[in-house]
A = this chain, B = another copy of it.
Amino acid sequence: MKTICRQNLVAAVLVGALAFTTIARANDPLPSWNDGSAKKSIIQFVTKVTTADSPDFVPVPERIATFDNDGTLWAEQPMYFQIQFALDRVTALAPQHPEWKTMEPLNHLVAGNTKAFMAGGEKSLMAAMAATHTGMTTEEFSKTVNDWITTARHPKLGKLYTDLVYLPMLELLVYLRANGFKTFIVSGGGIEFMRPWTERVYGIPPEQVVGSSCKLKFEMRDGKPVLMKLPEVNLIDDKEGKPVGIQMHIGRRPIAAFGNSDGDLQMLQWTTAGSGARFALIVHHNDAKREWDYDRTSPIGKLDKAWDEAIAKKWTVVSMKDDWNTVFPR
């Protein structure tokens, strides 16, 4: 009898502990975030803008949150993934473009000499972008992106690019939406490069993606309307272009913005300059073991001026190493 009682007691305690853990986990909207000032600042902000009798309460329609993509929602090393896509596309398209064999700088890529190509810097990249991102319809381009993103793998990590998104940021997107926020991407990356997969990967539909774009032209082709991608810049949605992109697409100032580099500085300035409660967060890549370690001097994702301003203005800075217990979902 006594034994049975003790066994029952032990079982009850075990079940209770398990239930407690489960409840604690279920109650934690950000389980991949370690307890610390970054996580605390997020939860405090969301709580105060969503609490009806709080002086900082914000009505649902005004709960706009904008996220940079490269380096904020997914990785960006050793080169922006969209650049890798462009290089892969040059190689794939080369057989249809024999003229590229003698055309600087694409000839280097066609010959498999990526190093010589990359030595051309931005000029080379623009040539690859023009050759692979324009001169087709929006639907043709979308299909190409879909084919690539579901098969191509990161050269160093061997994973699908869509597996190189940050689990803590996915949780943050879900948490914000559960609290009435509309989540937008505001990225220097191409708007048409992101839209084919952001809904599946981030739960962000195409109409909530803001990005760099080329001009489009409406045409009739065999009696069917198409939109051609022209080799002319429409918007560079980076730095000063981010608040412009936000106003053009959203038309309402975000109350929260999330970035990781100097390219996001103006978006964070624009967001925090509004009245009422505002939130700005920067992801600091300082995790060489699980991801990468770079900031002030990195050619990609340089975090210098925005870091200084974050410290001066007490914006939330996330230490990837210390604040995240998990980086990638798998």
Contact = CB atoms under 8 A, between A and B. Distances in A.
Interface in A194-231: 195, 199, 205-209, 213, 216-218, 224-225, 227
B249 A216 contact: no
A61 interface: yes
Contacts of A64: 207
A191 B252 CA distance: 12
Given A206-B252, A269-B225, A247 B138 contact: yes
A240 interface: yes
In the assembly, how many copies of this chain are there?
2
A266 interface: yes
A270 B248 CA distance: 22
A182 interface: yes
A155 interface: no
Contact of A251 (B195, B224, B240, B247): B195
A39 to B, nearest CB: 28
**Closest CB pairs A-B (n = 5):** A206-B251, A218-B240, A207-B250, A195-B251, A216-B244
B206 A273 contact: no
Interface in A255-281: 266, 269-270, 273
Nearest to A266: B218
Given A206-B251, A225-B243, A227-B270, 6 more contacts: A206-B250, A207-B207, A207-B251, A218-B241, A218-B266, A225-B266
12 contacts: A61-B199, A191-B251, A192-B251, A205-B252, A206-B252, A207-B207, A207-B252, A209-B251, A216-B244, A217-B240, A225-B269, A249-B249
Contacts of A227: 243-244, 247, 270
Interface of A: 61, 64, 138, 182, 191-192, 195, 199, 205-209, 213, 216-218, 224-225, 227, 234, 240-241, 243-244, 247-252, 266, 269-270, 273
A208 B182 CA distance: 12
Contact of A225 (B192, B225, B252, B273): B273
A273 B192 CA distance: 20
A238 to B, nearest CB: 11
A207 B182 contact: yes
A182 B266 CA distance: 30
Contacts of A244: 216-218, 227
Contacts of A182: 207
Nearest to A219: B240
A224 B208 CA distance: 26
B270 A225 contact: yes
B252 A213 contact: no
A191 B138 CA distance: 23
A170 B155 CA distance: 53
A266 to B, nearest CB: 6
Contacts of A195: 251
Nearest to A239: B218
B224 A273 contact: yes
A204 to B, nearest CB: 11
Contacts of A249: 207, 249
